[in-house]
Amino acid sequence: MTDPLSPPPRKNPQKRTRVPTRPSHVRSRAALGFAAAAAEGRFMLQTCAECGAVQYPPRDACGSCLSVELNWTDVSPAGRLIADTTVRISTNVYFRERTPWRVGTVRLDIGPSVMCHVHGDVAVDDPVRLSIKLDKSGQGVMFALPQKATPNMEDDPHMREMTCDPKHRRVLITDARNENAPALAQALAEAGASLIFVGEAESWHPYPHRATLEKIANVEIMPLDVTDTASVTELAAEIGGKTDILINNARFVRPGGIMDRGDVIFSRDEMEVNFFGMMRLAQAFGPAMRGRGADGDNSATAWVNILSVYAWSNMPEFGAFSASNAAALSLSQCLRAELLQGGVRVMNVFTGPTEDEWHQPLPPPKVLPAALARAVVGGLKDGLEDVFVGDVAKDLIDRWRAGPKILEREMLDTRGQG
């Protein structure tokens, strides 16, 4: 078992905040497949389409038959730790600050032997579950985990470097008025978040779930309107230095595409909230988060966007909303590049139609607030970058990957039933 992480002490204001450093980020293009797999928490290796050989390390031609048709494929992560060692001295600044650091070799049941980081609860000869995690450089690295979960395993210091666990961290949920705010706050409280700030816009008119939200442990409702730059700046000035995880759940959604609407009023609102809202938040909260990426056990660690899966392919029935989310998805990639310098992860949670008033006439399945909250917290604990929640989102991204143009054509006909 792992020693449980204690609540971090209050910060010593006389000490300089440690500047985030990063492990090596240089990889071959072939090896970037690890980052893609880790982004979704998948365990993938290259597999030769001609002879079926599983490859490690990644390469451009098959090690057995020289075929260049190497496809990243989900494979079994089961293996055994056959050797380990502890690094005590490193020339790399990131590891130098974190030694001793344990590494080892795992022989996978499917063949290859892999150099990897090793969880503290794994001993040599133990069966392991190998996983690919994103490190502070945003690169996919191999991490050997106990085959079965051990108590407090998420508190292993090296594992915590690879994840964005909310335990003992301070979270900002940006939109109290969103129907999913109580479920998000509740899930974060259960995950051990020490403080849950929830931004509230337009406090001059009521909304039904405020009382529920207030009752959740460690919730603090703060004024925040993502369409109002001054409001965003003011809240960042107050709590920007202790926002470890920011969950942007603010969104403006209305049905309708282009000609159904006849004006750009709702589209502007959609852009103001879904696109400019993220940009305002990032300009106000981003710099402090990026600067606090290595600030102890409650360092800044993750930025979460809740986006429509129709950011990938337009759903004409919600056409303008889809477009605003496509813009937000693109902006999130820019944000990812900027926050990466501080080792802060951007996680996009893509959802299909949600169970709320704006999707009421749509047929099920729809994503419930609790399911969305589980996906957010689960994604943080696993340190993911891309999460697809619900059957609709999972199906849509599969179809997008199979052929975006085919999907686009399907979406034209279904008018959103896709």
Binding site for other proteins (CB under 8 A): 202-206, 223, 225, 227-231, 254, 263, 265-266, 269, 357
Residue whose entry in the numeric block shows the structure tokens 């006389």: 14
Give the max Cα distance, the chain. Answer: 69
d(CA 242, CA 11): 10
Closest CA to 2 of 120, 104, 84: 120
Least distance to other proteins from the beta carbon of 352, Å? 21
Least distance to other proteins from the beta carbon of 321, Å? 14
Q: Which C-beta is closer to other proteins: that of 232 or that of 392?
A: 232
Grouping H, G, I as helix, E, B as strand and the rest as coil, residue 277 is helix
User: Residue 129 has which token pair?
Assistant: 């579950």
Angle, helices 276-291 vs 319-340, to 10°: value is 20
Least distance to other proteins from the beta carbon of 229, Å? 6
Least distance to other proteins from the beta carbon of 239, Å? 18
- Helix (H) / strand (E) element for 212: namely helix 210-215
Beta strands in 135-258 (DSSP E): 140-146, 170-173, 195-200, 219-223, 245-248
Q: Which C-beta is closer to other proteins: that of 212 or that of 229?
A: 229
Least distance to other proteins from the beta carbon of 359, Å? 14
Least distance to other proteins from the beta carbon of 228, Å? 4
Burial pattern 185-223, b for ≥16 Cβ within 10 A else e, equals bbbbbebebbbbbbbbbeeeeebebbeebeebeebebbe
Q: Which C-beta is closer to other proteins: that of 213 or that of 302?
A: 213
Q: Which C-beta is closer to other proteins: that of 127 or that of 223?
A: 223
Least distance to other proteins from the beta carbon of 204, Å? 4
Q: Which C-beta is closer to other proteins: that of 186 or that of 231?
A: 231
Q: Which C-beta is closer to other proteins: that of 283 or that of 333?
A: 283
Query: Measured on CA atoms in the order 22, 25, 26, 27, is the torsion positive or negative?
Result: positive
Q: Which C-beta is closer to other proteins: that of 95 or that of 266?
A: 266
Q: How many CA atoms lie within 13 A of 143 on its CB side?
A: 30
